[in-house]
């Protein structure tokens, strides 16, 4: 396991602040002698430090998929599987699969399919809770479309949540990408929507807990 580069500044700043707080709590203990209070405050400091570090963790995983497989792009829980009208790029019916990422999940995002990046666009927006029905269209978000060698196009969208305040993505139009390559990162609670062609075989169901680079969402036909 390693730490993501997006977390270096936050981890350094956060641990510095927590260290200063711990010194303050220890000084308070030397003045009051209240051991139980010092123990509780110290435990809170350690818990917050652990949560900050674990949020930016990147587990070691091996990505092995067939050419037409659609890989899960993020860790989390499947919260939506439905046929919808996609209005930003396709303007037609697609199968939407949405994955909710809690603050405890790994937040790096990976390409679900290989191919050529045909479209990349960032949208400023609101910060509704990630499971809100309007978060897909009203929240801060970025949209990417990859054209698979089969000719199918897959759209995937990073959506900021109530806690998320920064979406990071690293791909550009015209770039060749591979399944399992990292395309972005979302800081704190968030969601990923994947829009697949009608007729795509879907291999997950609502409520499934999925993992990036390990779980298969479906198969292009």
Q: What's 198's domain CATH number?
A: 2.70.70.10
**Are 10 and 44 found together in one domain?**
yes
Owning domain of residue 85 = 69-219
Q: What is the pLDDT of residue 167?
A: 86
The answer as to whether 64 is a domain residue is no
**Are 113 and 45 found together in one domain?**
no
Q: What is the pLDDT of residue 26?
A: 92
The structure's pTM equals 0.85
Which residues of the chain are under the pLDDT cut of 50?
none
Annotated catalytic residue within 114, 135, 142, 190: 190
The answer as to whether 99 is a domain residue is yes
Render pLDDT for 134-149 as a digit per residue (tens, 0 to 9). Answer: 556 567 889 999 999 9
Q: What share of the chain is helix, strand, coil (3-state, %, to 5)?
A: 25, 35, 40
Q: What is the pLDDT of residue 126?
A: 62
**Are 36 and 81 found together in one domain?**
no
Q: What letter would DSSP give residue 131?
A: T
**Are 95 and 45 found together in one domain?**
no
Q: What is the pLDDT of residue 149?
A: 96
The answer as to whether 154 is a domain residue is yes
The answer as to whether 140 is a domain residue is yes
The answer as to whether 117 is a domain residue is yes
135 catalytic? Reply is: no
What is the C-alpha to C-alpha distance for residues 136 and 191, in angstroms, rounded to an integer?
9
**Are 50 and 142 found together in one domain?**
no
């Amino acid at each position: 396991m390693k730490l993501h580069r997006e977390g270096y500044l936050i981890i350094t700043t956060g641990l510095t602040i927590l260290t200063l707080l711990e010194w303050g709590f220890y000084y308070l203990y030397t003045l009051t002698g209240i051991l139980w209070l010092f123990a509780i405050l110290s435990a809170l400091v350690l818990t917050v430090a652990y949560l900050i570090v674990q949020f930016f963790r990147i587990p070691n995983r091996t990505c092995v998929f067939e050419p037409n497989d659609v890989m899960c792009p993020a860790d989390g829980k499947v919260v939506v599987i439905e046929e919808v009208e996609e209005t930003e790029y396709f303007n037609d019916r697609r199968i939407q699969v949405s994955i909710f990422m809690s603050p405890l999940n790994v937040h790096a995002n990976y390409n679900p399919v290989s191919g050529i990046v045909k479209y990349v666009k960032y949208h400023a927006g609101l910060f509704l809770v990630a499971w809100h029905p309007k978060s897909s269209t009203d929240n801060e978000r970025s949209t990417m479309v990859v054209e698979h060698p089969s000719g199918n196009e897959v759209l995937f969208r990073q959506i900021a949540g109530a806690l998320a305040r920064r979406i990071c993505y690293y791909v550009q139009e015209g770039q060749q990408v591979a399944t399992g390559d990292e395309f972005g990162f979302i800081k704190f609670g968030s969601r990923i929507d994947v829009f697949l062609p009608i007729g795509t075989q879907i291999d997950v169901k609502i409520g499934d807990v999925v993992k990036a680079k390990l779980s298969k969402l479906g198969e292009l036909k």
